[in-house]
Amino acid sequence: MSPEPQSQRNFILGNVLLALAAVAIFFFGPLWEHFGIGALMGWMVLAALGVYLVTRDRDTPGGP
């Protein structure tokens, strides 16, 4: 059974958002200086949306 195109698109978009969140961690010092608490909030939103999209379509019928 092949994954649906929308499911595949959500998975890829989720991974892109998680990659952006990972890159943001490397530049968190300058981001904090420019945006303050907004940098932390932005990072949390990126990470949460990424995890949500990656795990969104993981329901497998006939599971345990």
In the chain, count of helices (H) and strands (E)? 3, 0
pLDDT digits (tens, 9 = 90+) for 24-52: 999 999 989 999 999 999 999 999 999 99
| Confidence (pLDDT) at 56 | 85
**Sign of the alpha-carbon dihedral angle for 32, 35, 37, 43:** negative
pLDDT tier at 16, thresholds 50, 70, 90? very high
pTM over 0.85: no
CA–CA gap between residue 34 and residue 30 (Å, rounded): 6
Average pLDDT over residues 15-31: 94
Structure tokens that stand for 47 in this block: 């990470």
| Confidence (pLDDT) at 48 | 96
Altogether, the residues listed in the chain come to a count of: 64
